[in-house]
């Protein structure tokens, strides 16, 4: 069924339910109704729609009393006239949607819609009750924009960084696929890499570092392969000399981010980015994420950690809580959080993560990253 080009929606704190139908149905113009509390939310929705060349008009809506709700609904219905329109009744509270639905009956053709994001569908009540599958219409920028954020930097677009990551792909895969066996060694590599970078961000590298033991077996294989790639020099005993700041950052934890990139490349979700710097539209806050993945209009936030948990219980708890909060802030209630840890985590951390709806893949589970992401993609209707 062909739908009207004019859409009406109510600004809400979860505007993905307003943005998705407008883009899926190719709205020509969207009228956003905004209450006093939803001014910023309406502004964010407007920006996301205008990025797709959709015409936008914002109208104030007084929801302070039942009388003001009825009066606002009548005013808006008169302003819209009898032109055919789609009314997205997902946002707002019940009195608002009831009043608006009632007053908009004067429209020549009222198409009444509810966006059921939890089940990936659009539910139509008028003119004919029908369920329509939700299409995959949002990229990373769309999800962030409608939440009031924007991408300031996406590292994987840097050709030099990509070239280096491609050259050490074999080593990166070995580190990730053997994370459980190399867990203890990761701690030492992380430690000396951190010491080498102690003067960051502007000071000189301290390349010459000492391991507390002479590596053998798999540990020695890792260092030997790193030498072949020109990342460091190892004397066969305890001395390690990092070739550059970039090499030290790789062993301080960057390899795990590159491991995630390699896996995401193979899976090919709708959109993804690694080492992403995100800022609020006001420019007041800035956060860096190891990886952001968009698929079926949802966001997956992946954070990579090679340092050991358990050294500071309060700090660990804050880390988990912050990850969960940031995920919801930039991706809405449909977002998910995944912590990818190269080292084992305690039962206490697992419990805290579960309480905050943060998933964890640790140590030997790191190699299951592909399966996890495929399951997530399937859950949201791949």
Q: Residue 355 has what pLDDT? A: 92
Q: Residue 42 has what pLDDT? A: 97
Average pLDDT over residues 243-261: 94
31, part of any domain? yes
Q: What is the CATH number of the domain that holds 220?
A: 1.10.10.680
Residue 132 near residue 114, CB atoms below 8 Å: no
Which residue is it, tokens 């790193």? 226
Are 73 and 99 contained in the same domain? yes
Are 118 and 202 contained in the same domain? no
Are 279 and 217 contained in the same domain? no
142, part of any domain? no
26, part of any domain? yes
Among the residue ranges 50-54, 83-87, 158-162, 238-242, the one predicted with the least confidence is 158-162
DSSP 366: G
Are 91 and 14 contained in the same domain? yes
Give the whole-angstrom CA distance, residue 299 versus residue 276. Answer: 13
294, part of any domain? yes
What's the chain's average pLDDT?
91
Residue 10 has pLDDT above 80, yes or no: yes
Q: What is the CATH number of the domain that holds 18?
A: 3.40.50.10770
Give how many domains the chain has, as a whole number: 3
Are 12 and 123 contained in the same domain? yes
Per-residue pLDDT tens for 334-361? 999 999 999 888 888 899 999 999 999 9
Chain centroid, CA 192 distance in Å:
31
Residue 79 has pLDDT above 70, yes or no: yes
Q: Residue 381 has what pLDDT? A: 46
Q: Residue 158 has what pLDDT? A: 66
Are 243 and 272 contained in the same domain? no
- Measure the CA angle with vertex 271, ends 167 and 340; round to 5°: 65
Point out which residues pair with 312 in neighbouring strands. Answer: none
Residue 156 has pLDDT above 60, yes or no: no
Average pLDDT over residues 214-237: 96
Give the whole-angstrom CA distance, residue 16 versus residue 21. Answer: 9
Are 114 and 71 contained in the same domain? yes
Q: pTM higher than 0.85, yes or no?
A: yes
Per 3-state DSSP, what percentage of the chain is helix, strand, and coil (rounded to 5)?
Answer: 45, 25, 30
140, part of any domain? no
> In terms of C-beta density within 10 A (0-12 exposed, 13-18 middle, 19 or more buried), how is residue 276 classed?
buried
Are 125 and 220 contained in the same domain? no
Give the whole-angstrom CA distance, residue 174 versus residue 220. Answer: 13
Q: What is the CATH number of the domain that holds 318?
A: 3.40.1350.10
User: How many beta carbons lie within 10 A of that of residue 238, not counting itself?
Assistant: 14
Per-residue pLDDT tens for 322-332? 999 999 999 99
145, part of any domain? no
Are 306 and 344 contained in the same domain? yes
Are 287 and 312 contained in the same domain? yes
Are 262 and 231 contained in the same domain? no
Encode burial over 196-226: b for 16+ CB neighbours within 10 A, e otherwise.
Answer: bbeeeeeeebebebebeeebeeebeebbeeb
302, part of any domain? yes
Are 32 and 118 contained in the same domain? yes
Q: Which domain holds residue 56?
A: 6-135
Give the whole-angstrom CA distance, residue 108 versus residue 197. Answer: 68
Residue 52 has pLDDT above 70, yes or no: yes
Per-residue pLDDT tens for 264-283? 999 989 899 888 999 999 87
SS3 at position 240: strand
Domain boundary among 233, 253, 273: 253
Q: Residue 282 has what pLDDT? A: 84
77, part of any domain? yes
């Amino acid at each position: 069924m062909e739908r009207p080009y004019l859409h009406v929606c109510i600004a809400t704190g979860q505007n993905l339910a307003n943005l998705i139908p407008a883009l899926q149905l190719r709205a020509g113009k969207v009228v956003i109704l905004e209450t006093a509390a939803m001014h910023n939310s309406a502004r964010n929705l407007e920006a996301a729609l205008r990025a797709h060349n959709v015409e936008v008009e914002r109208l104030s809506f007084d929801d302070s009393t039942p009388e003001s709700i009825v009066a606002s609904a009548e005013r808006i219905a008169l302003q819209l006239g009898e032109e055919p329109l789609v009314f997205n009744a997902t946002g707002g509270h019940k009195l608002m949607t009831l009043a608006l639905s009632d007053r908009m009956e004067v429209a020549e053709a009222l198409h009444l819609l509810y966006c059921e994001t939890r089940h990936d569908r659009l539910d139509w009540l008028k003119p004919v009750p029908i369920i329509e599958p939700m299409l995959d219409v949002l990229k990373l920028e769309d999800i962030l924009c409608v939440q009031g954020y924007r991408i300031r930097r996406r590292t994987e677009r840097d050709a030099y960084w990509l070239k280096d990551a491609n050259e050490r792909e074999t080593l990166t895969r070995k580190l990730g696929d053997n994370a459980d066996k190399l867990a203890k060694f990761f701690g030492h590599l992380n430690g000396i890499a951190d010491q080498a970078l102690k003067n960051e961000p502007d000071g000189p590298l301290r390349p010459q570092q000492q391991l507390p033991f002479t590596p053998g077996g798999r540990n020695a294989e890792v260092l030997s392969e790193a030498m072949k790639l020109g990342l460091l020099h190892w004397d066969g005993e305890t001395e390690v000399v990092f070739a550059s700041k970039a090499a030290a950052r790789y062993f301080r934890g960057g390899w795990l981010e590159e491991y995630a990139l390699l896996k995401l490349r193979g899976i090919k979700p709708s959109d993804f980015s690694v080492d992403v710097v995100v800022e609020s539209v006001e420019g007041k806050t800035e956060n860096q994420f190891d990886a952001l993945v968009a698929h079926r209009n949802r966001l997956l936030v992946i954070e990579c950690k090679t340092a050991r948990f358990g050294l500071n219980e309060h700090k660990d708890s804050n880390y988990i809580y912050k990850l969960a909060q940031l995920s919801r802030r930039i991706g809405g209630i449909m977002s998910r959080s995944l912590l990818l840890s190269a080292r084992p985590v305690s039962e206490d951390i697992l419990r805290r993560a579960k309480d905050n709806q943060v998933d964890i893949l640790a140590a030997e589970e790191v190699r299951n990253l592909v399966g996890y992401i495929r399951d997530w993609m399937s859950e949201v209707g791949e």
